[in-house]
Amino acid sequence: MSAAVTDIAATDDDRIMPFAVEKADVRGRIVRLGPLVDDILSRHDYPQPVSALLGEALALTALLGSALKFDGIFSLQTKSDGPVSALIADYVSHARSGGGTLRGYAIYDKDCDFGDVDSSFRALIGAGHFAMTIDQGKQMDRYQGIVALDGDSLAACAQAYFQTSEQIPTAIHLAVGELFERPQGRAAPAAAGAWRAGGLLIQYLPKSRLDLPPDAEFDEPEDWRRSRMLMETATDLELTDPAIAPEKLLYQLFHEDGVRVFEPQSLKFGCRCSRLRLENVLRQYSRETLSELVENGKISANCEFCNADYQFDMDALVSR
């Protein structure tokens, strides 16, 4: 996790930029999240380590979901036995208009004192699995890939999935941090910082690999090795700092092999909950079942994603 003190003036936030490293047969995407990730994390009173993990999950979900070439939903979920038992995030692709919407939440042990817990990924997550799901709508089958949470980071787990399930050499760098704004004329930074997240993904996709059988061993070529090593030189601060444009960072990393950027895609927060949707779900239950949910004369429901609260009158639900 990174932290910085700067004068905040971001113009490249909340967007994903595809790119190609032409001479190395590498394709990739870079994401920069500012107000969007801060909005999502600020909706919940998460301990700092939990917010940082969810920020990484959101950046990874944006990187992977933005690869969809159709209108659909890409979902990422971890389920494990650690203090942070689940991370859930999804990206809704709007392929025709470009860009997409992002949301997410975390499930964690609220009795845990995270100040006394090792903040490493392994200690927070524990043992479990990592699932990625693509939903193309009611008329199409869902695709899901699952791998064990064996890596030392969320990025490492995703890389393992692509290596074992897709046989695509992939490298991912995720970064999350709080940005502290320094007010004009004051020496000390403000007390509260805005959350930021960033991510960089590259994949080796030469035409020659398309003809290889799925179980073919990968002999790492020099071009891919160099691109991977160059990507690893990017710091967490460079990935999250609003003063460094994504195009500038990509040029800094890959200009010797001819990096080319494509039209960026915008990102927005998008929760699909609504009072009507929840009401329709509750109407499917009997009066007896609904009566078990009544507290203080009302049935209450909370959206885990946006933290919105809804209240319903039982008699109104069963009278229609």
Q: Do the domains spanning 2-269 and 275-319 agree at the CATH topology level?
A: no
Domain ranges of the chain: 2-269, 275-319
Task: Quote the DSSP letter at residue 148.
Answer: E
Largest distance between two CA atoms of the chain: 70
* 144-157 mean pLDDT: 92
For residue 186, what pLDDT is reported?
Answer: 46
Q: Is the model's pLDDT at 147 over the cut of 70?
A: yes
* 149-158 mean pLDDT: 94
Confidence band for 95, pLDDT divided at 50, 70 and 90: confident
For residue 7, what pLDDT is reported?
Answer: 41
259 and 21 Cβ atoms separated by less than 8 Å: yes
The residues that bridge with 5 in the sheet, in sequence order, are 180
Nearest partner of 77 among 315, 312, 308, 304, judged by Cα: 304
36-68 pLDDT per residue, tens: 999 999 999 899 999 999 999 999 999 999 998
- 275-319 maps to CATH 3.90.1280.10: yes
Please name the residue ranges forming H helices in 195-235: 222-232
* 264-291 mean pLDDT: 89
220-253 pLDDT per residue, tens: 789 899 999 999 999 999 999 988 999 999 999 9
Mean pLDDT value across the chain: 87
For residue 218, what pLDDT is reported?
Answer: 54
* 105-130 mean pLDDT: 93
176-200 pLDDT per residue, tens: 998 766 545 444 444 457 899 999 9
Q: What percent of the chain has pLDDT over 90?
A: 59
Helix axes 222-232, 246-254, angle to 10 degrees: 130
For residue 173, what pLDDT is reported?
Answer: 98
pTM greater than 0.85: yes
Q: Which parts of 120-245 are beta strand (E)?
A: 128-135, 143-148, 170-181, 194-204
- Give the DSSP H or E segment for 42: helix 35-42
2-269: which CATH topology? Hsp33 domain (3.55.30)
C-alpha dist (Å) from residue 235 to 82, 120, 172, 221, 240: 28, 18, 13, 24, 9
For residue 142, what pLDDT is reported?
Answer: 83
Q: Which residues of 114-129 are buried (b: 16+ CB within 10 A; e: fewer)?
A: beebeeebeebbeebe
